[in-house]
């Protein structure tokens, strides 16, 4: 731990480390009673996330702005926090067809820590700095540190490194700032309270972290035009049969075509849902549909709502 780090060595005062009176008799009841205790405690997680709405929304706006200009979102964390960051980053390319470099994730201890606990890795300040430095963070990036207890030195040192490199910073913790201060540009605090098993932040705090990351990455991608209405329109339709089927059904929904016709249109659109929908709407070729999308920031709604008349050469009927 850096001698400039204000985090106390004794962590017993942190709310995530304290005992939960509601679960004090957890080992005395039967399984059904234990279930009720955990389920009741979990029921309050969504409200804790809701209390952080202003900071979460600010993070979405910041991240979307940076990604629009070619920046990256870089998650980093230790243990459960790190694994949840890796999970969210890994889901972005198939769900939103993002470049794998757009959303990255670092976990203390490296890839091996995804599958087995490497507890001491969270205390390694040098690794936090070195791991982030290897990605060459800069002014266009957002470095998003996750530490439910707020004290992971790996995360805190990486955030210091990010600020030195002029990257924007976000910090997510489940303890109040008066217990664990930070210097991030946006500080998200989701106060989930003492865990059912004292200190086991993979429970309520982990659930809250997953909810926050889901919300932030999803709303960011909405801002980037990767969702139309509530449908994935930038998914990787050729990644697997499930996503191919979802792409076909999305086209069918937005065009009123039958399933087989939508599948054929998807193929002619080179697997791009947005292209297929624009082809159908304007009865145009895929190249012309892509041009229209490009003029409208690759946002399907804008491409469909524009009143500009475009002359297309080598017109190919987008209907079936």
- Please list the active-site residues: 91, 122
Q: What is the CA radius of gyration of the chain?
A: 23
Residue-by-residue DSSP string for 159-189: HHHHHHTT-EEEEEESS-TTTS----SEEEE
Other beta carbons less than 10 A from residue 35's beta carbon: 11
Task: Please tell me the distance from the alpha carbon of residue 292 to that of residue 94, in angstroms, as a whole number.
Answer: 24
- 36 CB neighbour count, 10 Å cutoff: 11
Instruction: Write out the two tokens for 33.
Output: 């009673």
User: Within the chain, what is the greatest distance between any pair of CA atoms?
Assistant: 76
| Best CA proximity match to 76, nearest among 181, 176, 154 | 154
Which residue in 311, 320, 303 sits closest to 234, CA to CA? 303
Q: Which two structure tokens, joined as six digits, stand for 261?
A: 């016709």
Sheet holding 103-107, edge to edge: 103-107, 73-77, 142-146, 168-173, 186-189
d(CA 241, CA 244): 5
Q: What is the dihedral of CA 243, 90, 210, 72, to 10 degrees?
A: -120
67: part of which helix (H) or strand (E)? Answer: helix 53-68
């Amino acid at each position: 731990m850096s001698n400039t780090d204000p985090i106390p060595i004794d962590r017993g005062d942190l709310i995530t480390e304290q005992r939960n009176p509601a679960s004090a008799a957890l080992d005395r009841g039967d399984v059904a009673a234990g279930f009720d205790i955990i389920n009741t405690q979990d029921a309050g997680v969504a409200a804790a996330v809701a209390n952080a709405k202003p900071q979460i929304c600010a993070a979405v706006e910041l991240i979307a702005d940076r990604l629009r200009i070619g920046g990256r979102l870089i998650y980093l964390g230790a243990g459960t926090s790190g694994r949840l960051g890796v999970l969210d980053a890994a889901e972005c390319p198939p769900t939103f067809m993002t470049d794998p470099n757009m959303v990255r994730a670092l976990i203390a201890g490296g890839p091996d820590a995804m599958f087995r606990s490497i507890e001491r890795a969270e205390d390694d300040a040098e690794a936090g700095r070195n791991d982030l430095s290897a990605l060459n963070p800069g002014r266009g990036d957002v470095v998003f540190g996750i530490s439910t207890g707020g004290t992971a030195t790996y995360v805190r040192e990486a955030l210091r490194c990010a600020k030195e490199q002029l990257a924007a910073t976000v910090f997510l913790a489940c303890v109040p700032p008066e217990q664990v201060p930070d210097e991030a540009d946006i500080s998200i605090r989701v106060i989930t309270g003492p865990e059912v098993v004292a200190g086991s932040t993979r429970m309520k705090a982990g659930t809250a972290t997953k909810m926050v990351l889901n919300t932030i990455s999803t709303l960011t991608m909405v801002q980037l035009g990767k969702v139309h209405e509530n449908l994935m329109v930038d998914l990787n339709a050729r990644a697997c049969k499930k996503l191919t089927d979802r792409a076909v059904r999305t086209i069918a929904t937005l065009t009123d075509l039958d399933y087989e016709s939508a599948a054929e249109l998807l193929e002619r659109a080179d697997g791009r849902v947005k292209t297929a929908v624009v082809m159908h709407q304007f009865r145009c070729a895929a190249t012309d549909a892509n041009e229209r999308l490009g003029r409208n920031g690759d946002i399907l709604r804008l491409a469909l709502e524009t009143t500009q008349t475009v002359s297309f050469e080598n017109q190919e009927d987008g209907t079936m």
